[in-house]
């Protein structure tokens, strides 16, 4: 998208901040068609509703309301123009909430420059163009889907199918003969049983039509996320039944989830990178990494192990259970060569997933960890050497997947970088101490030499005086 010619609305309750941002915009490489200002929440919302601007720069603090609320309301109104949230508080939680709420990006005012603003606007407009194209494509696809590929079913008061169409049969994989012996519960995910039975009773009792999103299970066990409407079907001479018309939205939901997860991952990595650049406190960086890992990969406990002379030690543990895991494990040591799981990760340099630790013959049992159901480990590598492990535990068996564990690799790289930085910092301290000792030694050497020289001169002078004295 051509950035020049954009109409921009700056939403900020501070006149000074508005003027500063306007000045930054004037210093970019683009000439904007219009730059306007809205100074309060309600005015901004009314202007947004008119769809007159191409881009919105939204301040977080807007009196008694905030920019997150404004973006949320604007999205609900159907606003598709990109919105950038700006704040003077460097808070990763605000950034994550902004992205989740519909903001295209997050800007820290403390780091704002014309070039930063220029890049952010270019990214926002390009990103919005892609999203809008996808949205338009999805709408066209949805129209075609609703007209020709709906999953239509009719269920009677006993929960038996009176009718399903061919699209329904094709989607769920059942023949007409098999459908005759099915009930509603047979094709619903177990988590949906109670809710859908209540809904069936409400519709059959004459309540208003209902929009629903639920999960079907196909003949071969696949899950289909569907949405649609259920209405009451009345036929003369027959008992009441329901008619449901559904659309398969599995892919859309998966894409939404994937995009949301990708945004969270990117923000978490950016937050950790900021910590690496802002502090030399090794433990603080490791704590920040574990905090961000929690946002990206769910788990009950996580820890960072470092290897020293073939033996692991816990550098950091984060425990979210009531099993006192951190207290019990902190002082434990494991010999890598004698611990199968660690040895495998160390030798292969690849992540390890143990779906069910109770079924893993080489799992090291300990009373402190008998609550663990599944386990995942990722190697921490520096200079092509494995220097430690990033470990996650879950109470649920079969919880960790390759896709989840792949996200940990970026964090393991950041841990390796933190370790390298810590080593470099320690080496720098040692070098500085050595140089100071060498300087003191040189000073002492010079002092001693001067003293010896003065002593030798004095001795020589005394000798001459002695030679000049008559016998």
What is the tens place of the pLDDT at every residue in 311-335? 999 988 888 776 666 666 777 888 9
- Report whether pLDDT(2) > 70: no
The pair of structure tokens assigned to 363 is 């799992």
pLDDT, tens digit, for every residue of 168-179? Answer: 999 999 998 999
pLDDT-wise least confident of 68-82, 102-116, 376-390, 433-447: 433-447
**H or E segment and range at residue 101:** helix 92-101
Burial class (CB in 10 A: 0-12, 13-18, 19+), 56: buried
User: What is the rounded distance in angstroms from the CA atom of residue 265 to the CA atom of residue 285?
Assistant: 17
> How many CA within 13 A on the CB side of residue 13?
13
439: phi then psi, degrees, rounded to nearest 5 = -65, -45
Residue-level pLDDT at 145: 38
The number of beta carbons lying within 10 Å of the beta carbon of residue 342 is 24
In which residue are the tokens 């320690």 written? 426
Tokens at residue 228, please? 């649609």
- Residue 31: is its pLDDT beyond 80? no
Grouping H, G, I as helix, E, B as strand and the rest as coil, residue 400 is: coil
What are phi and psi for residue 57, nearest 5 degrees? Answer: -105, 110
Distance CA 161, CA 456 (A): 117
State how far the Cα of 445 lies from the Cα of 447, in Å rounded to an integer.
Answer: 5
**Domains of the chain as residue ranges with CATH:** 7-146 (3.40.50.2300), 149-248 (3.30.450.20), 254-424 (3.30.450.40)
326 to 283, 301, 316, 390: CA distances (angstroms)? 15, 9, 9, 15
CB atoms within 10 A of CB 219: 14
pLDDT at residue number 320: 79
pLDDT tens figures, 78-115: 888 888 988 877 777 888 888 888 888 888 888 888 88
Helix (H, G, I), strand (E, B) or coil at 30: coil
**CA-CA distance, 357 to 376, in Å (whole number)?**
10
Identify the pLDDT of residue 135.
75
Least confident stretch, 85-89, 133-137, 355-359, 402-406: 133-137
Q: How far apart are CA 11 and CA 62, in angstroms?
A: 8
Residue of 113, 88, 87 whose CA lies nearest to 98: 87
Name which of 404, 400, 318 is nearest 356 in CA terms.
Answer: 400
Residue 465 has pLDDT above 70, yes or no: no
Q: Are 109 and 88 in contact (CB under 8 A)?
A: yes
Q: What is the DSSP letter of 110?
A: G
pLDDT confidence tier of residue 389, bands split at 50, 70 and 90: very high
Element (H, E) at 143: helix 114-148
pLDDT digits (tens, 9 = 90+) for 112-159: 888 888 888 888 888 888 887 877 776 765 455 345 578 988 899 889
- Do 82 and 104 meet the contact criterion of CB atoms below 8 Å apart? yes
Q: Which helix (H) or strand (E) holds 22?
A: helix 15-26
82 in Cβ contact with 55 (< 8 Å):
yes
Q: Which of 391, 253, 411 is nearest to 314 (CA)?
A: 391
* Residue 470, Ramachandran bin (φ over 0: left; ψ between -120 and 50: alpha; else beta): beta
Closest C-alpha among 448, 358, 435 to residue 394:
358
């Amino acid at each position: 998208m051509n950035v020049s010619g954009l109409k921009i609305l700056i939403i900020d309750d501070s006149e000074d901040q508005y003027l500063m941002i306007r000045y930054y915009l004037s210093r970019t490489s683009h000439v904007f068609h219009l730059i306007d200002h809205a100074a309060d929440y309600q005015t901004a919302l009314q202007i947004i509703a008119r769809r007159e601007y191409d881009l919105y720069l939204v301040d977080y603090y807007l009196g008694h309301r905030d920019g997150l609320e404004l973006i949320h309301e604007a999205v609900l109104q159907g606003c598709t123009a990109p919105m950038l949230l700006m704040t003077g508080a460097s808070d990763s939680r605000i950034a994550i909430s902004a992205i989740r709420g519909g903001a295209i990006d997050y800007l820290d005012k403390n780091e704002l420059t014309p070039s930063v603003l220029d890049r952010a606007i270019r990214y926002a407009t390009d990103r919005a163009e892609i999203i809008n194209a996808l949205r338009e494509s999805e709408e066209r696809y949805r129209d075609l889907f609703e007209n020709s590929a709906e999953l239509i079913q009719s269920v009677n008061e006993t929960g038996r199918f009176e009718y399903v169409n061919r699209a329904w049969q094709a989607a769920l994989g059942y023949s007409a003969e098999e459908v005759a012996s099915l009930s509603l519960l047979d094709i619903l995910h177990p988590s949906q049983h109670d809710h859908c039975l209540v809904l069936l009773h409400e519709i059959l009792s004459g309540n208003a039509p209902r929009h629903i999103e639920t999960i079907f299970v196909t003949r071969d066990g696949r899950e289909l996320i569907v949405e649609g409407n259920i209405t009451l079907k009345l036929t003369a001479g027959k008992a009441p039944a329901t008619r449901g018309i559904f659309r398969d939205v599995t892919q859309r939901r998966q894409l939404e989830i994937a995009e949301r997860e990708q945004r969270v991952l990117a923000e978490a990595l950016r937050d950790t990178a900021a910590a690496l650049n802002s502090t030399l406190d090794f433990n603080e960086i490791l704590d920040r990494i574990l905090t961000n890992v929690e946002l990206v990969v769910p788990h009950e406990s996580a820890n960072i192990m470092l290897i020293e002379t073939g033996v692991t030690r816990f550098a950091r543990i984060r425990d979210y259970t009531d099993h006192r895991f951190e207290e019990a494990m902190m002082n434990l040591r494991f010999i890598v060569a004698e611990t199968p799981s660690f040895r495998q990760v160390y030798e292969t340099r690849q992540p390890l997933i143990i779906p069910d630790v109770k079924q893993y013959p080489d799992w090291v049992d300990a009373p402190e960890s008998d609550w663990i159901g599944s386990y995942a480990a990722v190697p921490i590598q520096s200079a092509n050497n494995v220097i430690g492990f990033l470990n996650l535990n879950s109470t649920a068996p079969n919880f960790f997947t390759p896709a989840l564990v792949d996200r940990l690799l970026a964090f393991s790289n950041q841990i390796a970088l933190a370790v390298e930085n810590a080593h470099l910092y320690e080496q720098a301290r040692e070098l500085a101490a050595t140089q100071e000792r060498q300087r003191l030694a040189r000073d002492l050497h010079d002092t001693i030499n001067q003293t010896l020289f003065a002593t030798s001169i004095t001795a020589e002078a005394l000798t001459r005086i002695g030679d000049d004295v008559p016998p």
